[in-house]
Amino acid sequence: MAEVTHSLDGRYYTDPKVFEIEQNGVLAETWQFAGHAATIPNAGDYFTFQLAGEDLFCIRGRDGDIQCFYNVCQHRAHQLVQGDGNAKVLVCPYHAWSYGLDGKLMAGPNIKSVRGFEKSEICLTSVKIENMHGFIFANLDPNAKPMEDWFPNVRDELAAHVPDIDRLKPVEWVEIPENCNWKVSIENYSECYHCTLNHPTFSTGVVKPETYDIQPQGYCLRHTTESQQLDNMSYPIDLNANEYAGVYSSWFLWPMFSFQVYPGNVLNTYHWRAIDADHVVVWRGWYSIDGAPSQVMKDLAKQDRETTVEEDIHLVESVQKGLKSRGYVPGPLVVDPACGVNSEHSILALQKWMREGVDR
Ligand code: FES
Ligand SMILES: [Fe+2]
């Protein structure tokens, strides 16, 4: 028998002070999804995003490489860019200092009148990024270890499971605001103890629930399962196409992203953004080769939004309310030493990382 471990205290999910600690710590020191490289194909293309309360942007340089910068002018701190777009140079809207696509200061009105002004010493502050098969991840910690250290083998496993991954482009993007703490949503994603009761499509469809398991692989939680009824799929698949054509699997990358692969090597993703202690936004991303219009992806995105996603919203929002209740005493996790679908060993792993993020 495993020792009893209790779930986290309610305050981890409800206290704004805990959220502030996370914003300055775990959310600023981990690899998080920024955006997809295919959305900025040309030199000067950029998109903005937020991480841990910081405004950032990714931009493609003249050499074709993507860089990420804090969205703040090095003169007197105005924002440089908004939304997404293309720029030949980055001109600050406040006093028109201009920066190259590499972040270096190029010019500014009357700066030559300042003796000793060293233009070459001024550059936008860059942020560390990694490109994983077109998915760009950013880490605000300049000393962050590479993603391979955090998530061993994930890059190679993805390439094997999705042979066309480097040609994929986002085609469907479903945004789901949830009234709950980000950790409630992440925990819900990371166990399937609730699946049989709450996800009828999931449990009676392709996945064979009794074979479902979730195991840590570094800071990745790897979901694996056997598939069944592959001839009942709502889209055609060629099981002989490659070794993983019949596989359903997912790779959750702590703290807020997941790659998911459906049979037929169909990639889709989850990513979360924490808004405050009580709000998180989840995006479901769907992809196709070269971004070709795809009815299959449209249908999958719609079906997923109407079933699994909808079912989960009600669960996580109810939990968030419960965590605020004076009547809630954190319950024991159901950790079965044999693991499997009806065990919360994955929550045990997750809550250890959550604790490390708060109790420093
Ligand atoms: S703040 Fe950007 S040019 Fe002054
Ligand atoms: Fe669920």
* Span 151-208, pLDDT tens digits: 999 999 999 999 999 999 999 999 999 999 999 999 999 999 999 899 987 777 788 8
**CB of 76 closer than 6 A to ligand 1?**
yes
The reply to whether 44 and 117 lie within a common domain is yes
Specify whether 111 is located in the same domain as 245: no
Q: What is the pLDDT of residues 112-154, one digit of tens each?
A: 999 999 999 999 999 999 999 999 999 999 999 999 999 999 9
pLDDT-based confidence at residue 209 (cuts at 50, 70, 90): confident
Residue ID of nearest Cα to ligand 1 atom 1: 76
Which of 81, 89, 95 gets mutated to test ligand 1 (max ligand atoms within 8 A of its CB)? 95
CB of 90 closer than 6 angstroms to any ligand 1 atom: no
Q: Are residues 305 and 283 in the same domain?
A: yes
Q: How far is the CA of 77 from the centre of ligand 1 (A)?
A: 6
Residue 73 in contact with ligand 1 by CB distance below 6 A: yes
Q: Which residues surround ligand 2, an ion (CB under 5 A)?
A: 312
Tokens for 107? 């010019």
Q: Does 249 lie in the same domain as 100? A: no
Domain holding 223: CATH number?
Answer: 3.90.380.10
Q: For residues 275 and 128, state if they share a domain.
A: no
Same domain, 287 and 211: yes
Q: Ligand 1, atom 4: nearest CA belongs to which residue?
A: 95
117 alpha carbon to ligand 1 midpoint, in Å? Answer: 15
Determine if ligand 1 sits within 6 Å of the CB of residue 79. Answer: no
Q: Which atom of ligand 1 is nearest to the CA of 108?
A: 3
Are both 24 and 100 inside the same structural domain?
A: no
Which two structure tokens, joined as six digits, stand for 247? 């596989």
Each residue of 216-226: pLDDT tens digit?
999 999 999 99
- Please tell me whether the peptide bond between 170 and the residue prior to it is cis, using omega within 30 degrees of 0: no
**Same domain for 125 and 231:** no
Ligand 2 center to 159 CA (angstroms): 26
Q: Does ligand 1 lie within 6 Å of residue 321's CB atom?
A: no
**Of 104, 122, 143, which residue is a domain's last?**
143
What is the structure's pLDDT at 186? 98
pLDDT category of residue 37 using cuts at 50, 70 and 90: very high
Task: Say whether both 220 and 315 belong to one domain.
Answer: yes
The identity of residue 177, as a single letter, is: P
Asked if 222 and 259 sit in the same domain, the reply is yes
157 Rama sector, left if φ>0, alpha if ψ -120 to 50, beta otherwise: alpha
Question: 313-333: per-residue pLDDT in tens?
Answer: 999 999 999 999 999 999 999
Q: How much is the pLDDT for 2?
A: 60
How many beta carbons lie within 10 A of that of residue 115, not counting itself? 5
**333-337 long-range Cβ contacts below 8 angstroms, 24+ apart:** 333/4, 333/5, 333/6, 333/7, 334/193, 335/2, 335/5, 336/2, 337/1, 337/2
Domain range enclosing 106: 32-143
Output the CA 253–ligand 2 centroid distance in Å: 17
Residue 108 pLDDT > 80: yes
End residue of a domain, out of 103, 125, 143: 143
Helix (H, G, I), strand (E, B), or coil: what is residue 358?
Answer: helix
Q: What is the DSSP letter of 29?
A: S
Q: Is 78 in the pocket of ligand 1 (CB under 6 A)?
A: yes
- Give residue 200 CA to ligand 2 midpoint distance, Å: 10
The residue from 143, 163, 189 where one domain ends is 143
Residue 75, ligand 1, Cβ within 6 A: yes
Domain count of the chain? Answer: 2
Q: Give the contacts of 197 (CB within 8 A, at least 6 positions apart).
A: none
**Measured CA angle at 299 (ends 295, 302), to 5 deg:** 140
Q: What token pair was written down for 295? A: 């009815």
Q: Are residue 44 and residue 78 in the same domain, yes or no?
A: yes
Q: Residue 12 to residues 5, 209, 217, 234: CA-CA distances in angstroms? A: 16, 30, 25, 40
Residues 65, 154, single domain; the answer is no
Q: Is the minimum distance from the CB of 117 to ligand 1 under 6 angstroms?
A: no
Nearest 5 degrees, angle CA 43-CA 146-CA 45?
Answer: 15
